[in-house]
Amino acid sequence: MTETLNRPSRPSSMPPRRTSSEPVSRSPLALGAGAGVWAVAAGLLVVALPLLLFWAVDSRSGTGWGEVLRGAGRLWLLAHGASLDLPGGRFALTPLGLMLVPLVLVARFAASAARDASPTGLRPAAGLALAVALPYSVLALLVAILCTGPDVHVSPVQSLVGALLVAGSGAWVGVLRPARMWRAAWFALSDRTRRQVEPAAAATALLLGAGALLVGGSLVAHFPKAVDLAGASDPGAAGGAALLLAGLALVPNAVVYGVAWLTGPGFAVGLDTAVGPFGHELGPVPALPLLAALPGAGVPDWVAVLVLAIPLLAGAVAGRSVARALSAIDETSWKRTAAEAAAVGPVCGLALGLLAWMSGGAVGGERLVQIGPSAWAVLLAASATVAAGSLVGALVQRARLLTD
């Protein structure tokens, strides 16, 4: 009888029943698609709420709420790099500050999907990021179709491609949020690539910081002019708040323009204009308070020469980092030190050239069809100056290490 009682029971052929408290597991594809849909909804809501508030408090507005919502959709698409064809011309200037909204939202929802899906490697992580970006871009295409009207045409191709790039970038950052995934992605690169990317990122950050200080200092110096521009059109409370938000959305663009000025090429604010250390020709500009930071005249030649010291110094800091990294692996070749230090310049120039390309565009017709710096000019100028500074900094640091 004891053997009968202790005999193990045979396993049941029926699957275990799920209790109501157990969560339903979802596939990475479903999790990614849900994250993409929620990111679109949240982004449209963030853009639409201020516009609806301005419309509600502005007694002078005769626009219906439906057109306000379509305007919010167009503004949201503009943040993804899409262009708007208006009766007065094309609007294709992407506010980089507004682009941060979809990037942050996509990264946030993608990180939530990654916590549920728990990708175990870079390939599953890339698949999850793609699962977020594809439905996001399809919905952006649908928004572009709905927001196209008789007077405003939204480019569907630009909306689709821009949303795919923005959502893909944000989703990749969000999926790699756990530290172990960041480390896996970073160490998937070769040692030489890491030795060049880190110093180039430092030089790029230094130049962007210098550009921000330049723009901020000039805006403070011309603050009375900014106040006059803000009140020139009598915008009222709602219009003033809208001008403030527009200025904040364009602050990153202005920082990139500051970097273009520091590296030499400068930038344009319309046709036949040039704002740079080696040339200044500026005509009438829109009454945007942020534009008060534009200098009223050119700078002396000695100031223009000193300006070039900033990218050279940023390159020198990067070059010292390259020399120290090579010393850490007992690499003492002067030729290799010079080659890797000089390669930092093109990497930094490529990043700044991309930012310059993203920051410019047309603002209507006539003379404002060309706003921002030349991407190629910024790429070449930043590459040359940063590479020169990096080469000198690396060789000086190598000599110091050998003498110690």
**What are 325-383's pLDDT values in tens digits?**
998 888 778 899 999 999 999 999 999 999 999 999 888 767 788 889 999 999 999 99
On average, the pLDDT of the chain sits at 85
Check pLDDT > 90 for residue 136.
yes
Q: Using the predicted structure, report yes or no on whether residue 232 has a pLDDT greater than 80.
A: no
Q: How confident is the model at residue 233 (pLDDT cuts 50, 70, 90)?
A: low
Token pair 């999926």 in the structure block, residue: 175
Q: Are 80 and 105 contacting, i.e. CB atoms less than 8 angstroms apart?
A: no
Coil, strand or helix at 397: helix
246-292 pLDDT, tens digit each: 888 999 999 999 999 999 999 988 887 888 888 778 777 777 778 88
Q: Any residues with CB less than 8 A from the CB of 238 and at least 6 apart, and which?
A: 53, 54, 57, 58
CB 378 within 8 A of CB 349: yes
Give pLDDT, residue 332.
74
Percent of the chain predicted with pLDDT > 70: 88
Cα 118 from Cα 129, distance rounded (Å)? 12
The pLDDT score that the predictor gives to residue 276 is 85
Task: Give backbone dihedrals phi and psi of 198, rounded to 5 degrees, phi first.
Answer: -60, -50
In the structure, what pLDDT confidence band is assigned to residue 238 with cuts at 50, 70 and 90? low
- pLDDT score recorded for residue 186: 82
Q: State residue 239's pLDDT score.
A: 66
pLDDT in tens, 171-204: 999 999 875 788 878 888 888 888 889 999 999 9
206-210, 227-231, 237-241, 378-382: least confident range: 237-241
Which residue would you say has higher pLDDT here, 236 or 78? 78
The average pLDDT across 380-392 equals 96
Residue 14 has pLDDT above 60, yes or no: no
* Average pLDDT estimate for 40-53: 92
The number of residues in the chain equals 404
Q: How many CA atoms lie within 13 A of 60 on its CB side?
A: 6
Q: Which residue has the higher pLDDT, 159 or 328?
A: 159
> In this structure, are residues 103 and 166 in contact, taking their beta carbons and an 8 Å threshold?
yes
Confidence of residue 206 (pLDDT cuts 50, 70, 90): very high
The predicted-structure confidence for 81-94, as pLDDT tens digits, reads as follows 999 988 878 888 99
- Phi then psi dihedrals of residue 371, to 5 deg: -125, 135
The model's pTM is 0.88
Mean pLDDT of 13-42: 73
pLDDT at 357: 95
